[in-house]
Amino acid sequence: MAVRLDYVLKETGSNLARNFTLTFAAILTVAVSLALVAASFLIGQGINNSFLGLRSDVQLFIYMNPGATADQIQSVKKELDRSAQVKEVDFYDQERSFEEFKRLFKEQPDLVATITPADLPQSFRIKPTSSDADVVSALGDSLKSKEGVLRVEYAAEYARQVQRSVRTLNTWVLIVGAVLIGASVLLIFNTIRTAVFARRREIEVMRLVGASNWFIRLPFVVEGLVHGLLGALLAALGAWGFDALWKRNFVNQVAFELLNQIRWDSGQLWQAIAIIFAVGALTGAVGSGIAVSRFLRI
């Protein structure tokens, strides 16, 4: 037997209005927790997008002259392959460097348009067997003077530390977000319990005359879902605002030399918003689902 849509909407609407204060608290908590989760997701994506090469254990970059010959490149490669200090070596030719460049600057198409693969140096990315600074710099020094080498760069310990701190901070944001989601589930659970209690006479009569379980339960489950989705809507606005603020205050500010590396593109913003709505709906459904199955037994 189908449950009539207008009935469900009417019942849900009157429940939402009846419990305004509780509903409001539940929606706000959902919104704050989801906004934190979204911010954490965006920063996490930003960290992955940033600090070229730092996400792996590449510690040494050898840039070749743009005009370096194939022989010179081959000779550096041989030297690296022979070295006992090198664990892994990865060669970026101009095409591959250009791909990486396009990925890193895809929010700035103007810049990408002015660059061709020929403008970019070829490079070796090296993972040493030991992360000991002396070993790494000795390895770099031995290669610096080779024919065709433009320069040697070391992954800065400083950048690494900033990245680590941002990541730790971000983990805490996610933990707080997760705890608040737990609180949201409990709040929605309580709101639905109150709604069930407020309508206990109707529910008693419905049971007596043989209303099906879902007919009785659906308006309450929908109510919880609405809590989750309204909270998600607010959180999506929050994420959008966070995105704008971050771009204005960090990404486009030269002064924040490392924080301005943490950036994400609009696709990742949409992903964050999709996560907000999915988690919001789930939070509402779980909270009301538990309440309904505990308080609306046959």
Partner 1 sequence: MIKLENVTKVYKGEMVALREASVDIDKGEFVFLVGPSGSGKSTFLRLLNREERPEQGKIFVAGKDIAELPGYKVPYLRRNIGSIFQDFKLLPSKTVSENVAFALEAIGRPRSAIREAVPQILDLVGLGKKANNMPDELSGGEQQRVSIARAFVNRPLILLADEPTGNLDPATSVGIMKLLDRINRTGTTVVMATHDRGIVDTMRRRVIELDRGRIVRDQARGVYE
Nearest-approach distance from CB 197 to partner 1, in angstroms: 15
Is residue 208 a contact point for partner 1 (CB under 8 A)?
yes
Lookup: tokens for 113: 């348009």
- Long-range contact list for 174-179, CB < 8 A, 24+ apart? 174/36, 174/37, 174/40, 174/44, 176/36, 177/33, 177/34, 177/35, 177/36, 177/37, 177/40, 178/33, 178/37, 179/33
DSSP state of 292: H
Is residue 132 a contact point for partner 1 (CB under 8 A)?
no
**Residue with smaller CB distance to partner 1, 118 or 209:** 209
Is residue 206 a contact point for partner 1 (CB under 8 A)?
yes
Nearest-approach distance from CB 225 to partner 1, in angstroms: 21
Lookup: tokens for 169: 């901070």
Lookup: tokens for 235: 């959180």
Lookup: tokens for 264: 């994400």
Q: Which residues contact 36 (CB under 8 A, 6 or more apart)?
A: 173, 174, 176, 177, 180
**Are residues 292 and 191 in contact, defined by beta-carbon separation less than 8 angstroms?**
no
Beta bridge partners of 153: 61
Is residue 293 a contact point for partner 1 (CB under 8 A)?
no
**Residue 124 DSSP SS3:** strand
Site for partner 1 in 164-203 (CB under 8 A): 201-202
**Contact region for partner 1 (CB under 8 A) — 29-37, 41-49, 208-216, 250-258?**
208-216
**Residue with smaller CB distance to partner 1, 164 or 200:** 200
**Residue with smaller CB distance to partner 1, 3 or 286:** 3
**Contact region for partner 1 (CB under 8 A) — 44-52, 142-150, 210-218, 221-229?**
210-218
Is residue 3 a contact point for partner 1 (CB under 8 A)?
yes
Lookup: tokens for 196: 């069930």
Is residue 7 a contact point for partner 1 (CB under 8 A)?
yes
**Contact region for partner 1 (CB under 8 A) — 51-59, 179-187, 204-212, 245-253?**
204-212
Pairing of strands 60-64, 123-128: antiparallel
**Residue with smaller CB distance to partner 1, 115 or 205:** 205
Cα distance between residue 159 and residue 169, in whole Å:
15
Is residue 254 a contact point for partner 1 (CB under 8 A)?
no
Other CB atoms closer than 10 Å to residue 266's CB: what's the count? 10
* Binding-site member from 17, 157, 210, 255 for partner 1 (CB under 8 A): 210
Is residue 207 a contact point for partner 1 (CB under 8 A)?
yes
112, burial (CB in 10 Å: exposed 0-12, middle 13-18, buried 19+): middle
Residue 145 phi, psi dihedral angles, 5° rounding: -90, 0
Nearest-approach distance from CB 211 to partner 1, in angstroms: 4
**Contact region for partner 1 (CB under 8 A) — 71-79, 140-148, 174-182, 212-220?**
212-220
* Binding-site member from 215, 240, 250, 295 for partner 1 (CB under 8 A): 215
Nearest-approach distance from CB 227 to partner 1, in angstroms: 24
**Residue with smaller CB distance to partner 1, 109 or 210:** 210
Cα distance between residue 102 and residue 18, in whole Å:
54
* Binding-site member from 2, 5, 118, 255 for partner 1 (CB under 8 A): 2
Which residues are near partner 1 by CB under 8 A? 1-4, 7, 201-202, 204-213, 215, 298
